[in-house]
C-alpha cells in the first residue's frame, strides 16, 4: 500500500494505492493521525488506486470519520472502484461516509 | 488456429486439478501469504477476478478473527482447503486448533446505526455471510472446522 497526501484548497487529499487490509490498516491510521489529532481542514481520500478493502480498513476509516465529526470537519471519499464501493454498500458505510465520483465533486460539496 | 487449440488444451490441464490445500501461520505474516495462495488457485482454475476479491475478503476476515482471538498466536496454523466442482461451486474449509469459536452464532451487526453508535465489530462475519452461499461450523478433534460454499458467477 502507498499513501500520499497533498493539500488542495482547505482539504488534505489522501491518495491510497493498493490494499487496505489487516496488514496495512495500521499504517494508514498512523500516517493520517497528524491530520486528525487537531484537524485544520477536511480530509478527502482518493480511492482510485485502492484495489481491496476489508473490515480492518473500514475500522480505521470509521475512527477517522468519528474524530473528524467531533472537530466539525468533513471526511469524504472519492473515486472508489466498483468492488470497494460494494463493500461500503454491504456494510452501510456509504451512509456514514460521503462518497463522490471525483475530487472536484468532493470539494464543491456544501458550497 | 493451432495456437488456439493448444491454449485450450493447456487450459483443460490446468483445470484438471480442482482441489488445493495450504496452511498459513496463525499470525499477521500468515495473513500476508493468504492472497498469494488464493491468486495461484484462482489463476489455475481460471476464476473471475471478482471471485478472487470476494474469496480473499471472506478468508481474510475469518483468519484475522482467528489470529486476533486465538490467544496463542505463535503456535499453530490455519489449514485451508479449496475444492471446485463441475457445477462451478467452490467449497472452502478452514481448520484451526484454537479455542472453540462458532462464527455462525455471531449476531449480525446493525448496519443502519448512526455514525456515533457504529463500530466495526461483527463486520467481518457480515462480509463472510454476504459473499458465501452457505456457512457451517463443527468442532472436530479439538479443531474448529468452518465450511463454506460459494457459487461462481459469470464463467
**Is A9's pLDDT higher than 50?**
yes
Strands (DSSP E) contained in A1-111 are 2-8, 11-20, 42-46, 50-53, 75-78, 99-100
Cβ separation B124–A69 shorter than 8 A: no
Report the half-sphere exposure of A83 (CA within 13 A, side-chain side). 20
Q: What integer pLDDT is reported at residue B74 of this predicted model?
A: 56
Instruction: Provide the pLDDT confidence category of residue B10 given band limits of 50, 70 and 90.
Output: very low
Report the half-sphere exposure of B69 (CA within 13 A, side-chain side). 15
Q: What integer pLDDT is reported at residue B27 of this predicted model?
A: 82
Which range among A11-25, A80-94, B4-18, B120-134 shows the weakest confidence by mean pLDDT?
B4-18
Please tell me the distance in Å from B124's CA to the nearest CA on chain A: 5
Nearest CA among B84, B94, B93, B5 for reference residue B45: B84
ipTM strictly over 0.95?
no
Distance CA A84, CA A61 (A): 13
pLDDT digits (tens, 9 = 90+) for A24-79: 999 999 999 999 988 889 999 999 999 999 999 999 999 999 999 999 999 999 99
Handedness of CA A39, A44, A46, A50 (dihedral sign): positive
Nearest CA among B116, B114, B131 for reference residue A54: B131
Distance CA B94, CA B152 (A): 19
Distance CA A23, CA A1 (A): 10
pLDDT digits (tens, 9 = 90+) for B97-149: 888 899 999 999 999 999 999 988 889 999 999 999 999 999 999 999 999 99
Output the pTM of the full model.
Answer: 0.90
C-alpha cell at B47: 476464476
CB-based contacts of B108: which residues, under 8 Å, 6+ apart? B122, B125, B126, B129
What residues of A are in contact with residue B31 (Cβ under 8 Å)? 21-23
**Buried-state track B96-112, b at ≥16 Cβ within 10 A, e below 16:** bbbeebebeebeebebe
B69–A contact, CB cutoff 8 A: no
What residues of A are in contact with residue B57 (Cβ under 8 Å)? 52, 54, 87
Amino acid at each position: 500500500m502507498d499513501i500520499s497526501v497533498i493539500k488542495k484548497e482547505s482539504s488534505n487529499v489522501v491518495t491510497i494505492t493498493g490494499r487496505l487490509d489487516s496488514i496495512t490498516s495500521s499504517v494508514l491510521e498512523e500516517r493520517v493521525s497528524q491530520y486528525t489529532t487537531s484537524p485544520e481542514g477536511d480530509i478527502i481520500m482518493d480511492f482510485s488506486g485502492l484495489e481491496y478493502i476489508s473490515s480492518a480498513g473500514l475500522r480505521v476509516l470509521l475512527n477517522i470519520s468519528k474524530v473528524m465529526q467531533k472537530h466539525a470537519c468533513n471526511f469524504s471519499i472519492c473515486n472508489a472502484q466498483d468492488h470497494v464501493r460494494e463493500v461500503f454498500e454491504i456494510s452501510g458505510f456509504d451512509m456514514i461516509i460521503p462518497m463522490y465520483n471525483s475530487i472536484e465533486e468532493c470539494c464543491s460539496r456544501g458550497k | 488456429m493451432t495456437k488456439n487449440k493448444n491454449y485450450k488444451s493447456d487450459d483443460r490441464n490446468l483445470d484438471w486439478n480442482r482441489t488445493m490445500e495450504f496452511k498459513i501461520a496463525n499470525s499477521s505474516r500468515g495473513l500476508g501469504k493468504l492472497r498469494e495462495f488464493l491468486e495461484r488457485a484462482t489463476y489455475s482454475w481460471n476464476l473471475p477476478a471478482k471471485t478472487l476479491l470476494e474469496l480473499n475478503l471472506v478468508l481474510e476476515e475469518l483468519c484475522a478473527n482467528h489470529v486476533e482471538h486465538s490467544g496463542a498466536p505463535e503456535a499453530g496454523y490455519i489449514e485451508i482447503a479449496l475444492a471446485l466442482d463441475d457445477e462451478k461451486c467452490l467449497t472452502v474449509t478452514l481448520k484451526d486448533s484454537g479455542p472453540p469459536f462458532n462464527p455462525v452464532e455471531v449476531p449480525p451487526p446493525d448496519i443502519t446505526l448512526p455514525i456515533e453508535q457504529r463500530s466495526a465489530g461483527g463486520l467481518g462475519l457480515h462480509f463472510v455471510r454476504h459473499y458465501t452461499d452457505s456457512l457451517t461450523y463443527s468442532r472436530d478433534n479439538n479443531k474448529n472446522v468452518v465450511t463454506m460454499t460459494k457459487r461462481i458467477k459469470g464463467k
